[in-house]
């Protein structure tokens, strides 16, 4: 059973960073867990500091991820199928970490699932880098949109002989009439200016046609 979030396991682990990896084993007949030293550290404990239990493990899952992880664990205990999950925990120090967990069941001589074995991998630094990349891309896109809108304001001011407030109001009305985001209308206006080769009369006519054509299509 694979349980993935917006973070892809393979993609996250392929970023080239050395991720802390801990092993675990869960005996289903006794309910006991065994953790390697690194698994303790991943959860914010010193080796042997606590006795790992299912209750302890679930208690440290992020509240928003706890039910989902519990479901994955129950399914694995029942079927023994290989599983994977990326989820957040709150470690013993109160710090949020993101773990990639993989495992599978082992069966006894009767074919019943008797234990789960697998690995905890702390991918927190990799996830932080992914978030930084996404945030940077979003900021750059936002800056580009703002630049286009400002350029479009200048075009409207020249074409309609209006002030800055009037230019923005025209763009806002055009956005409402066309049911398009302001950034898309701005890009069209900038495109009209480029096609008009500086002829503001041509641009003004094209702007009027743009609104008229869109209004006609909306009323059909």
Tell me the per-residue pLDDT of 156-215, one tens digit each, with 9 for 90 and over. 888 888 887 888 888 888 888 778 888 888 888 888 777 766 567 777 787 777 766 554
Residue 138 pLDDT:
56
**Helix/strand/coil for 15:** coil
Contact 153, 164 (CB under 8 A): yes
The single residue listed with the structure tokens 């606590």 is: 50
Q: Where in the chain is the domain with CATH 3.30.450.20?
A: 2-122
Q: How far apart are CA 60 and CA 66, in angstroms?
A: 8
Tell which wins on pLDDT, 61 or 133. Answer: 61
Q: How far apart are CA 104 and CA 186, in angstroms?
A: 54
Closest CA to 56 of 20, 24, 103, 102: 24
Fold designation for 2-122 = Beta-Lactamase (3.30.450)
pLDDT confidence of 26, banded at 50, 70, 90?
A: very high
Tell which wins on pLDDT, 136 or 147. Answer: 147
- SS3 track for 154-217: HHHHHHHCCCHHHHHHHHHHHHHHHCCCHHHHHHHHHHHHHHHCCCHHHHHHHHHHHHHHHHHH
The answer to whether residue 108 scores a pLDDT higher than 80 is yes
Question: Tens of pLDDT along 59-96?
Answer: 999 999 999 899 999 999 999 998 888 888 999 999 99
Tell which wins on pLDDT, 180 or 46. Answer: 46
Tell which wins on pLDDT, 185 or 142. Answer: 185
Residue 34 pLDDT:
96
**Helix/strand/coil for 105:** strand
pLDDT confidence of 140, banded at 50, 70, 90?
A: low
Q: b vs e for 173-205, b when ≥16 Cβ sit within 10 Å of the residue's Cβ? A: ebbeebeeebbebbbbbbebbeebeeebeebbe
Q: How far apart are CA 209 and CA 220, in angstroms?
A: 17
Give the global pTM: 0.55
Q: Give CA separation, 142 vs 134, 150, 208, in Å.
A: 12, 12, 28
């Amino acid at each position: 059973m694979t349980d993935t979030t917006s973070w892809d396991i393979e993609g996250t682990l392929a970023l080239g960073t050395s991720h802390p990896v801990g092993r675990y084993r869960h005996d289903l007949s006794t309910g006991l867990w065994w953790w390697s030293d690194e698994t303790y550290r991943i959860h914010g404990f010193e080796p042997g500091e606590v006795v790992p239990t299912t209750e302890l493990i679930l208690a440290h899952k992020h509240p928003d991820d706890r039910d989902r992880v519990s479901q994955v664990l129950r399914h694995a205990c029942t079927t023994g199928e290989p599983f994977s999950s990326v989820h957040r925990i709150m470690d013993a120090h109160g710090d949020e970490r993101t773990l990639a967990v993989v495992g599978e069941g082992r069966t006894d001589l009767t074919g019943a699932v008797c234990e789960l074995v697998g690995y905890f991998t702390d991918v927190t630094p990799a996830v932080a880098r992914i978030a930084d990349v996404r945030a940077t891309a979003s900021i750059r896109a936002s800056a580009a949109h703002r630049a286009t809108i400002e350029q479009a304001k200048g075009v409207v001011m020249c074409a309609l002989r209006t002030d800055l407030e009037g230019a923005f109001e025209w763009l806002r009305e055009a956005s409402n009439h066309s049911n398009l985001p302001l950034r898309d209308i701005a890009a069209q206006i900038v495109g009209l200016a480029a096609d008009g080769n500086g002829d503001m009369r041509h641009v003004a006519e094209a702007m009027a046609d743009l609104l008229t054509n869109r209004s006609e299509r909306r009323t059909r």
